[in-house]
Amino acid sequence: MSHSMSDGGAVCPPPPRLDRAMPPGHAAARPAGPPLFAGATLLTRQIALRQMQLAALETAMIDACEAAVTGRPTRANTPAGPARWTRADWQRYLAAAMQLEAVYGPRIRHLRQQIGQLERLKALLTAR
């Protein structure tokens, strides 16, 4: 049976819904697919990937802040290091950090949020 449309076309009705309750004692068959531990393994890998991305972003931001202090592009070129910085050096570092927050901050916060969500999902999955 088909329903007529206002433009003269016909549309097939949707298939009937299977809302019937299962008979007592009949367990619903689990759909075929990977075992549950495969999901936990995938989540573990996704968490590790995001943690590596987060560490790389944090390192890049620190390098950029230190470059603002030393005038050199990387920490490897910092002769004195933060332990020997003056008050003015720390002020330049903090000023650079405040400016760079707009560049790095949103992505860092997003990655931290994703890591937290994936960890909670993994905990739910492994608690089954």
Tens-place pLDDT, residues 57-100: 999 999 999 999 988 766 555 556 788 889 999 999 999 999 99
Burial of 114 (0-12, 13-18, 19+ CB in 10 A): middle
Tens-place pLDDT, residues 5-46: 555 555 555 555 544 444 555 455 555 555 555 788 899 999
What is the Cα–Cα distance from 103 to 98, expressed in whole angstroms?
10
